[in-house]
Amino acid sequence: MMAKLQGFEFWRKTLKEARFVVAPMVDQSELAWRLLSRRHGAQLCYTPMLHAQVFVRDANYRRENLYNEVCEEDRPLITQFCANDPEVFLQASLLAQDYCDAIDLNLGCPQMIAKRGHYGVFLQDEWELLEKMVRLAHEKLSVPITCKIRVFKELERTVRYAQMLEKAGCQLLTVHGRTKEQKGPSTGIADWEHITAVRKAVNIPVFANGNIHHLSDVERCIQETGVQGVMSAGLHVSLCTEFRYLMCIRAHDMPVMKLTLVYSHLFLLEGNLHNPALFEGCSPPIWEMAEEYLDVVKQHPPCTLSYVRAHLFKLWHHTLQIHQDLREELAKVKTLEGLAGVSKQLRLRCQEEIAKGKDTEEKEGSLPFPHWICQPYVRPAPKEPVVNGDSQISEVKKAVCQKRALEDDAVNDTLSKNKQKKRSRNPHKNFCPEHKPKYVKCEQCGNPKGNKCVFNLCRGCCKKKAFKEVADCPSHGLRFKTRAEKLKAEEKKEEEEEEEKDSATETDASAALQKQSEARLPL
C-alpha cells in the first residue's frame, strides 16, 4: 500500500496543483454539473455536502449521491461531509474514501439547517471535538482529510483555529473570508486579510473563498493572499471585461452594444451556478450552457430531475423574469425531454429578440449584459433607514418598491414571508411557539418518537427493535409478534392435519387387515 500523500505533495501530485475550484453546493454540484464546469476551466470539484449519519445508515443515499457518480473524467474529486460525531464521521469517510481523492469536513455552512443539526460553522467554538474528528480521520483514512472554515472576527483567533486543524491532521484548508454572521442580506465583504494571515501561519495548501467578481480577481486574490487556489460557489460574480464580452457576441453574430459595469452598489452575487464558464473568463449565451448541460445529463444518467430543473432556473434566471409563461412551464414539466423543450423555446424567443434588435433598445433593469447572456444574479444591498431627512418620502418610496403583499398584512407583521405564504394557503395555521406541539425525542437517534410507541422510539428504531425481539407496536403498525404467532398456529394446524391424516391412514390399514384376517378364518 502506497504511503498517503500529505500537504503540498498531495496538492501537487493528487490535485495536480489545482487553482480553479468549484465548491460543494447542496443538490447543485452533482456529477453532470461538475463535468460541465471542468469542461470550462475548473480543475478541482467537490461533491455536494453529504450528511455523514445518513450516509452511514442508508445504502440508497450512498448509492445515489456518490457510488453511482463514479466517472474517470471527474477527477480530482473531494467528498464533503457534515458531521458532529468523530465515530460517525470516520465510518462515513471509510465508506467514501475509495470513490474520491480526499475527504472534506464542512465547518463553514452558516444556514439555519446547520444550526438545527449542530454542524458546519456552528462547531467552530468546539475545538476539542473538531481536533478529535480531524485526528481520528487522519489516522484511519487512506486518503487525506481537508477542512472548509469561516473566519472569526478576531484575526489571531482565526489563525489559532487554522493551526489547531493543521496540527490535528488537516492537509488542505479552504478559508471563506466571512464570519458566521455574514449571510443572506448581511453577507457583506469577505476579509482577505484573515485569509492572508492563515496562509502565512500554516504549512499546508490554502484555498480562498469570497470576493471573486471576475476572472482577474482570481489572479489578484492568489497574488495578494498567497493562496494556492480560489474556490467558486454561489457568492461571487463572473462578468467578463467589455473586450471579452464584445469578442463573445461577435463570435455569435450578435449586435454590439455599449456597456457600463457598475459594482459599487452590489454585494451578493452568484457565479458558477449562473455561468459555468467562470474560469474561462467569458459569458456565453445562456442556451449554449443549457444545451451542453442537458447533453451531459443524458450522457451520465441517472440525474435527479429536480437538480436539472434548478440549474435551468439559475441559468435562465434573468430571461424568465420576462417570459413568465415559460417560467411556469419549466416548473410543471416532469421529464428531461420536457425541460429540454422549454429551454429550446426560451432560446428561440431570445434569438427572435436578437434578430429584431430588441437587446440594443432596452435592457432588463440594471443588467450589464442582455438577459440572454450568462451573468450573475445580483442582489442590491439593503437600504439604510432615513435618520435625518424626509421620512415621508422614504415611506412612499418603500411602499412603491415593496413586493406584492399578502392578505392580512397587519396580522402577518411578525411572520416571515415563508410563514405568510403558508398562512395564505391555510388561514387556520397557528405559528405560535406556545401552541406548537412539543415532540419527545427517540431514545436512540434523537428523532421525534411515536406518541404511543411501546418502546418510546421513532418508527425506524422501533421497527429494528420489534423485528429483533419479535414484538408488536400497534402505534407504528408493526405486527412481528402477531405474524409469528399466526405463522406458528398455521404450522401447528398443518401438523395436526398431517397427524389426523396419518391416524386415519393407520385406522384404514388396521381395518383392512382385520377384514383380511376375518376372511381367512374357517367356517
Following CA atoms 227, 138, 119, 15 in sequence, which dihedral angle do they give, to the nearest 10 degrees? Answer: 40
> Quick count: other Cβ atoms within 10 Å of Cβ 265?
9
Q: Which positions ≥6 away from 242 have C-beta within 8 Å? A: 259, 261
Alpha carbon 203 to its chain centroid, in Å, reads 30
Lookup: cell for 148: 472548509
DSSP conformational letter for 16: T
CB 116 within 8 A of CB 103: no
CA atoms within 13 A on the CB side of 8: 6
Quick one: the chain helix, strand, coil %, rounded to 5?
50, 10, 40
Q: Which of 221, 275, 205, 240 is nearest to 37 (CA)?
A: 275
Rounded Cα–Cα distance for residues 306 and 293 (Å): 14
Lookup: cell for 253: 453574430
Decide: helix, strand or coil at residue 22: strand
Rounded Cα–Cα distance for residues 195 and 318 (Å): 33
DSSP conformational letter for 13: I
Residue 173: what residue type?
Answer: L
CB 83 within 8 A of CB 92: yes
Decide: helix, strand or coil at residue 226: coil
Catalytic residue of the set 100, 109, 240, 461: 109
Lookup: cell for 417: 414571508
Alpha carbon 505 to its chain centroid, in Å, reads 71
Lookup: cell for 509: 390399514
Rounded Cα–Cα distance for residues 521 and 289 (Å): 106
Q: Which of 114, 119, 193, 204 is nearest to 152 (CA)?
A: 193
Lookup: cell for 115: 444550526
Residue 287 burial (10 A CB sphere; 0-12, 13-18, 19+)? buried
Q: Please indicate whether residue 109 is annotated as part of the active site.
A: yes
Q: Which positions ≥6 away from 478 have C-beta within 8 Å? A: 462, 463, 466, 471, 472
Decide: helix, strand or coil at residue 207: strand
Rounded Cα–Cα distance for residues 82 and 109 (Å): 9
Lookup: cell for 497: 392435519
Lookup: cell for 258: 455599449
Catalytic residue IDs: 109
